[in-house]
Structure 1
Amino acid sequence: MNSSSSSGSSEPFISKNSKDEYSEVRTSDEEDPNLFVPRTRPKNRLRIIFSWILKIVILALALHSFITLSISAAIYIRDASLPACYCGTSTAEALAMGCKYDSLATSWLPSHCRDDELTSLFEHAGNGPDGEWLYHASNTSSSRLFSLEEMSYLADKPDPERQAWSTIDWHNMHCFYTLVKQMRGKAKMEYTGFPNATAHAEHCAVAMTDRIPRNKIVIGMSPGFGDPRPGELGSTE
């Protein structure tokens, strides 16, 4: 009876439905639509990129500031070790000291206080023949003109007689080339009539913002022999 019931049974050990159910087990390399895999959002990528750009910019600015301060400190130390920008009290004494008239500074200066290359460029940036600047004996266009040589020897005259005049354009270019001279750092700076670079820069900024016609003759200058800073010369203390 047992063998009969066993041999007569046509049902398999595992039913077809069970087979189908077990045969649908997914392998590990198949994608499951219900499985959530976190991905980097575009906004997060942009935030990371922006963060790195900001870091690079800050680093570049810090490096630029460090280099600028280092150069300024080196120039200051060098200037402190150099002799004064002083050429005596007469053209004869200035020549004996090896000084030369510098039209950019309107003063006789020793070599370590001049940037002759810049001065030459300045002397050919004017509105006269061959780019020369026109130096007038008074603040009128009809007054006589001084040559550069005559300008240099005006320094020998007493104060009321050693003045010359030029245009607003001359003054603007004087300010520009003086700033370039300061930035180049090839010469000890001398600011005739001003205690330091800051005072001269403030003067230039105010003058350049005035709405005065560029060809108006209103700039007076008095050639001299350098302007030593307080304490640089024993006789001036």
Structure 2
Amino acid sequence: LALYGFFSLIMLCYTTLDLKASPDPCFCGKTPADALQNGCKFDPFTLTWVPDACRDDDLIDEFNALGALYNHSWQFYTWPTHDRLVTLDEVSMMAEVASTKHDNRSIVTTTIDWHHTHCLYLWRK
């Protein structure tokens, strides 16, 4: 009888507890279109789309304001040719392919000034 009670308790816990892995709370989809449809915004620190709860808008605003001071340049370029400036909005639309993978997809790069400042602000985040 005790053994039956023990197994009944185990089965009750197993069936009522959700033991499945919870979804990533910052996941917005696989494409910018998915992200927009899910109400996400582009995060320039992680170069990904995230929901509001995963963004630090005050820090992003501070970083963007710093870009206008002291002749900083927050610009992106096509890589490897650097022949065309790319806006942050364009980068956001390429978010699922803006990586270090070298294939037939578009890749962007930025200035060393942006990179160093980005690293410091990402650390603060």
Report the TM-score range of the alignment, normalised by the length of the smaller protein: 0.5 to 0.7
Structure 1: gaps (5+ residues) = 1-80, 182-237
1:125 is paired with a residue whose SS is: helix
Kept in 1: contact 2:97–2:107 (CA 8 A): no
| Shift in Å, 1:178 | 1.1
How many residue pairs were aligned? 99
Match in the other structure for 1:144: 84
Match of 1:154 among 90, 94, 97: 94
Which one-letter code corresponds to 1:95 in the other structure?
A: L
Match in the other structure for 1:90: 31
| Shift in Å, 1:155 | 2.4
Q: What are the Cα deviations for residues 138-180 of structure 1, in whole angstroms up to 9, with x where unaligned?
A: 2455x10111111111125586324210122212111111121
Which one-letter code corresponds to 1:99 in the other structure?
A: C
Structure 2 CA distance for aligned equivalents of residues 104 and 155 of structure 1: 12
Kept in 1: contact 2:77–2:108 (CA 8 A): yes
Which one-letter code corresponds to 2:94 in the other structure?
A: L
| Shift in Å, 1:120 | 1.7
Which one-letter code corresponds to 2:38 in the other structure?
A: M
Match in the other structure for 2:57: 116
* Residues 148/103 of structure 1: CA separation in 2 closer, same or farther (3 Å cut): same
Match in the other structure for 1:178: 122
Kept in 1: contact 2:28–2:40 (CA 8 A): yes
Which one-letter code corresponds to 1:149 in the other structure?
A: D
Q: Per residue, is there more helix in 1 or in 2?
A: 1
* Residues 134/155 of structure 1: CA separation in 2 closer, same or farther (3 Å cut): same
* Residues 156/114 of structure 1: CA separation in 2 closer, same or farther (3 Å cut): same
Structure 2 CA distance for aligned equivalents of residues 163 and 118 of structure 1: 26
TM-score normalised according to structure 1 size: 0.37
Structure 2 CA distance for aligned equivalents of residues 149 and 95 of structure 1: 13
Match in the other structure for 1:99: 40
